[in-house]
Every structure is written in structure tokens, then in C-alpha cells.
Amino acid sequence: MNIEALLCEKGEITYANFLVSIKEKTAKVLIADEDGVLVSVSDATSMVALFNDEAYLRFAKELVGLPSPIAVHDGKLVGYLLEQGMKRSLSCIQAVYPGTERFALNDEVVIRPLVMGDLEIVLANYHHLADEPYIRERLAKGVMIGAEVGGQLAGFMGRHSEGAMGMLEILPAFRRRSLGSELEKAYINRLLDASLIPYCHVVHTNEASLRLQKKLGLVFSEEMVHWFN
């Protein structure tokens, strides 16, 4: 079975997270059939989506022992995992940039790769579900960028281990200058240059981020993605 063709047929926007990890060869495909898809990504996360909701028990059994966190698309499996006592840390809307057009960037903002020397400032300003070893690993992978204004690091952004854009933070002194938009534009350009689909997971209650995604032309998947630890 051609898993990429199957996922595109089912919905390129809905399953962009799978398509990206498969294209980058970071996904180990464990199940791909008429019932759904289950993959582990970089031995760090797992992702599952069911096409046949009645197969939820089969997929639940396969999740045992897989790397976590686990991203689960909407359906019966979500409810079952909650009933079994698994902790849902986030419920997200998947936003996907559907085009190929690059963004023009502001010449007054310098976009540069982050290096390990930026670790302390990242740790001091990133307040989400991540620890120092994870941040170090992301820096070492070269997937984080920063925005400099007047020679000072004003904000940063990266990409999570499963392939989603994220980790966007603007330092307090530089907020309300559209730097978040500038960083995401730069990251979308970077992914397009690599022939990858730019996508991110936005917590469904984060209205500011949802507005930013709409402003930049990203479209939203019909299925929520739920993250379990």
C-alpha cells in the first residue's frame, strides 16, 4: 500500500503531520491500511489516525510501549484512552500552509539560526511543555531560528520532533512589533525550500495564534489532534 497516496486521498490537510514525517523518513510505519495509520517518529513521539472508528481497540493495543507523547486524531480512540486513565495534555487544531508562494521578509529584522550559545535565553523565555534536554536536542538538530532587532535576539521559533512548527516566543521588550508573524513567515519559507508542508498545532483556545495562522493563509484541518502523555 502506498501510504502517501492513501493519506493524500483521505485529506492532505488533515494528515499533513503524517505526510511530513514520512517524506522526511523520520516515521516508522507500524500500521497503514483501511482502518487507519499508526507511526512512531524519530523514536520520540507517536501519531495515530483512524479511518474506521470501530478499529479503536486494535490501535489502542498497538500503542502499548510506543514512544510518547502520542498525537491522536479525533475519534473513538480519544475517548477510550481517556477512559483508560491516559492524560491528555493538549487538544490542538492542525493549521497547514497550502501554497508554494514564499513570503517577502522585513529587511530590518535579521533571521538567523539559533546555536547552543542561545540556550539560556531560550530556556528563560520558553514556558511550554518542554525541558532542557529537549531544547538542547532541538538546537543541536539545527531546527531553531531567531529574530534579531538592533543586534539583540528578540524572539525565536523552531520545529518539534514530529515535524510541526512551534516553540514561537517573542521576548517581552519586543512584543507588538509583528515579530511572531515575521518568524513564522521565515520558517514557512525554510520548509518550502525543503519541499516540506509547513504545518503547526495550535491549542484550540489560543485565539491569538489562530488569528495569526489565518492571517498568514494557513488552513485548518477538520480533525482536532489530541496529545497524550
CA dihedral 6, 94, 216, 180 (to 10 degrees): -140
Q: Kindly state the cell numbers that stand for 115.
A: 546555536
Compute φ and ψ for 149, nearest 5 degrees.
-130, 120
Handedness of CA 8, 190, 210, 218 (dihedral sign): negative
Of 26, 35, 40, 13, the closest CA to residue 198 belongs to 13
Of 45, 85, 90, the closest CA to residue 66 belongs to 45
What is the structure's pLDDT at 127? 81
What is the structure's pLDDT at 114? 98
pTM of the model: 0.94
CA dihedral 221, 186, 190, 222 (to 10 degrees): 0
What is the structure's pLDDT at 50? 98
Q: Kindly state the cell numbers that stand for 3.
A: 501510504
- Laid out side by side, the sheet with 110-113 consists of 27-33, 36-41, 45-50, 70-73, 219-228, 88-96, 199-203, 165-170, 152-159, 145-149, 110-113
**How many whole angstroms separate alpha carbon 180 and alpha carbon 134?**
22
Through-space distance between the first and last CA atoms of the chain, rounded to whole angstroms:
30
What is the structure's pLDDT at 131? 84
Helix axes 76-83, 56-63, angle to 10 degrees: 50
What is the structure's pLDDT at 68? 87
What is the structure's pLDDT at 129? 66
Provide the residue-wise pLDDT of the chain in tens; the chain has 229 residues.
Answer: 689 999 999 999 999 999 999 999 999 999 999 999 999 999 889 999 999 999 999 999 999 999 889 999 999 999 999 999 999 999 999 999 999 999 999 999 999 999 999 999 999 999 876 689 999 999 999 999 999 999 999 999 999 999 999 999 999 999 999 999 999 999 999 999 999 999 999 999 999 999 999 999 999 999 999 999 8
